[in-house]
């Protein structure tokens, strides 16, 4: 998704990212600055959440609709009870892996930009990745949120198990709940960084919730 999505939304709502930015400044003019990169990453995590939730809902709705149009009850049951949930399970596995790896790419870019902007040649990655992130943030005057550090270790291990451990084992699969959990973790990480930079999130992105049809 284009990183300008949330920024365009803020433009429509006439929202400023930074109290230090002159009122009326187009957010698109500042979206490449160091100060707003955490904002972009925060909003992207919420865009991904909406996309995943919408996709899961659409797949299940399509499954039920397809089954309802079929005269053959046996195949209709197969379509509804197996295929749609199977597709949803596949989406969840991919979404979980993507969520963590997108964060790794985002934090690498964030640190790289800090290195350039603050002229800190000592910033870099070696050995344990999360420990490197923690050290790099510290050198730029920021801190890895303490309450999230253990969670990132947990999910990093889960991602590596899913990718590299032999066999396609049920215990390596993740649930839908774990997808939301890792997404919350990434969202909270970037919200915390925004807070540390003195630019707290004031306008969270509205989240997609499937409409519940009332019984007629």
Burial zone of 85 (CB within 10 Å; 0-12 exposed, 13-18 middle, 19+ buried): middle
Q: Is residue 65 a part of any domain in this protein?
A: yes
What is the per-residue pLDDT for 79? 63
Average pLDDT over residues 181-204: 90
Q: Is residue 18 a part of any domain in this protein?
A: no
Residue with tokens 């999230």: 148
Q: Is the pLDDT of residue 3 over 50?
A: no
Average pLDDT over residues 94-99: 95
Residue with tokens 């046996």: 74
Q: Is the pLDDT of residue 172 over 90?
A: no
Instruction: Lowest mean pLDDT of 97-101, 174-178, 200-204, name the range.
Output: 200-204
What is the per-residue pLDDT for 20? 35
Q: Give the contacts of 99 (CB within 8 A, at least 6 positions apart).
A: 45, 48, 179, 182, 183, 186
pLDDT confidence tier of residue 177, bands split at 50, 70 and 90: very high
Q: Is residue 121 a part of any domain in this protein?
A: yes
Q: Is residue 178 a part of any domain in this protein?
A: yes
Average pLDDT over residues 4-25: 39
Q: How many domains does the chain have?
A: 1
Q: Is the pLDDT of residue 96 over 80?
A: yes
What is the per-residue pLDDT for 140? 92
pLDDT confidence tier of residue 67, bands split at 50, 70 and 90: low
What is the per-residue pLDDT for 75? 65
pLDDT confidence tier of residue 141, bands split at 50, 70 and 90: very high
Q: Is residue 160 a part of any domain in this protein?
A: yes
Higher pLDDT, 95 or 36: 95
- Number of C-alpha atoms within 13 angstroms, CB side, residue 56? 22
Q: Is residue 161 a part of any domain in this protein?
A: yes
Average pLDDT over residues 147-167: 90
What is the per-residue pLDDT for 14? 37
Average pLDDT over residues 135-155: 94
Q: Is residue 17 a part of any domain in this protein?
A: no
Answer yes or no: pTM beyond 0.85.
no
Please write down the HEC assignment for all residues of the chain. CCCCHHHHHHHHCCCCCCCCCCCCCCHHHCCCCHHHHHHHHHHHHHHHHHHHHHHHHHHHHHHHHHHHCCCCHHHHHHHHHHHHHHHHHHHHHHHHHHHHHHHHHHHHHHHHHHHHHHCCCCCCCCCCHHHHHHHHHHHCCCCCCHHHHHHHHHHHHHHHHHHHCCCCCHHHCCCHHHHHHHHHHHHHHHHHHHHHCCCCCCCCCCCCCCCCCCCC
Which structural domain range is residue 89 located in? 34-196
Computed over every residue of the chain, the mean pLDDT equals: 79
Q: How many angstroms separate the CA atoms of 8 and 14, rounded? A: 10
Q: Is residue 23 a part of any domain in this protein?
A: no
């Amino acid at each position: 998704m284009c990183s300008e999505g949330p920024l365009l939304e803020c433009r429509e709502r006439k929202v400023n990212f930074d109290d230090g930015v002159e009122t009326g400044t187009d957010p698109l003019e500042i979206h490449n600055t160091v100060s707003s990169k955490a904002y972009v990453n925060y909003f992207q995590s919420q865009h991904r959440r909406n996309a995943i939730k919408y996709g899961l809902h659409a797949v299940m709705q399509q499954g039920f609709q397809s089954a309802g149009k079929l005269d053959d009850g046996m195949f209709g049951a197969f379509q509804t009870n197996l295929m749609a949930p199977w597709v949803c399970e596949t989406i969840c596995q991919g979404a979980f892996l993507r969520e963590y790896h997108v964060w790794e790419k985002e934090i690498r870019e964030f640190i790289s930009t800090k290195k350039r902007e603050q002229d800190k040649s000592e910033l870099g990655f070696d050995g344990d990745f999360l420990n490197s992130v923690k050290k790099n943030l510290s050198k730029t005057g920021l801190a890895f949120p303490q309450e999230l550090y253990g969670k990132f270790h947990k999910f990093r291990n889960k991602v590596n198990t899913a990718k590299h451990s032999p066999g396609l084992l049920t215990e390596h699969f993740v649930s839908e709940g774990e997808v939301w959990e890792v997404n919350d973790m990434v969202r909270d990480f970037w919200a915390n960084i925004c807070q540390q930079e003195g630019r707290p999130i004031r306008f969270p992105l509205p989240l997609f919730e499937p409409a519940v049809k009332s019984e007629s």
